[in-house]
Amino acid sequence: MLDAYLNRKPEFEILPISAQDCVSMSALHGERFAKGWGDGEFHSLLSQKNVFGYAARQTKGFFKPPLSGFVLAREAAGEAEILTIAVSSKLPRSGLGWRLMQAVMREAGTRGGTSLFLEVDDGNQAALGLYRKLGFEKVGERPSYYVAPDGSRSTALVMRRDLR
Ligand SMILES: CC(C)(COP(=O)(O)OP(=O)(O)OC[C@H]1O[C@@H](n2cnc3c(N)ncnc32)[C@H](O)[C@@H]1OP(=O)(O)O)[C@@H](O)C(=O)NCCC(=O)NCCS
């Protein structure tokens, strides 16, 4: 009985993001990306009415569960875009990226979006795997778009998916 409790798989809930999540978003973003965004940048994004997002948090075992993942998107005139998505490196391939994307795609459609765009480094296998599984297709390429801390450059792929 105790074994079953201790070894049970964590459960997560996906909820709309709020301004109170900005510090946690900035911390998780800094953990997953070479170029961090400050909590002020997240506040500024969330103050825009057409920006929205979702957070993944563990449901049990914590008084105040840490942020396990989040996604932010923007919708304008029928076109939506993913601004950023990150899942904790402690929870690889747990399905949170998929669930966060499903939530944001549904909301983008509800807000009138008919297509969803994103940009991804062509060497980011995890993100490319996720986006391809979700049905995104490459619609453009920006060579030498990203600059790594060591100065090396990589290509950004622009991907798109229908929301209808
Ligand atoms: C990209 C990211 C959000 C994926 O989140 P995740 O929660 O691990 O993804 P999921 O568990 O939902 O995986 C869904 C699918 O994506 C693909 N995928 C996920 N990780 C993968 C990996 N390391 N290699 C190849 N495919 C992968 C698989 O198709 C997977 O489905 P499967 O496990 O049934 O095969 C996460 O790796 C991350 O935060 N990376 C750092 C930040 C980042 O690169 N963000 C994207 C910027 S464009």
Ordered by start, the domain boundaries in the chain are: 10-162
Q: Is the CB of 58 under 6 A from ligand 1?
A: no
Interval between CA 92 and ligand 1 midpoint (Å): 7
- Which pTM does this prediction carry? 0.95
Kindly report the number of other CB atoms within 10 A of residue 20's CB atom.
8
Asked if 79 and 115 touch (Cβ cutoff 8 Å), the reply is: yes
Q: Is the CB of 14 under 6 A from ligand 1?
A: no
Residue 34 pLDDT > 80, yes or no? yes
pLDDT at position 62, please? 66
Residues 39-73 have pLDDT tens digits of 999 999 999 999 999 999 998 766 778 899 999 99
pLDDT at position 2, please? 66
Residue 32: partners with Cβ closer than 8 Å, 6 or more residues away: 86, 87, 89
**CATH pick for 10-162 out of 1.10.3720.10, 3.40.630.30, 3.40.50.2300, 3.90.1150.10:** 3.40.630.30
Mean pLDDT score across all residues of the chain: 94
Comparing C-alpha atoms, which of 63, 70, 59 is closest to residue 31? 70
Asked if 114 and 162 touch (Cβ cutoff 8 Å), the reply is: yes
Residue 5 pLDDT > 90, yes or no? no
Q: Is the CB of 93 under 6 A from ligand 1?
A: yes
Residue 135 pLDDT > 80, yes or no? yes
Residue 147 pLDDT > 80, yes or no? yes
Interval between CA 127 and ligand 1 midpoint (Å): 5
Compute the average pLDDT of residues 153-158. Answer: 98
Q: Is the CB of 85 under 6 A from ligand 1?
A: yes
Interval between CA 101 and ligand 1 midpoint (Å): 11
Q: Is the CB of 16 under 6 A from ligand 1?
A: no
Interval between CA 124 and ligand 1 midpoint (Å): 9
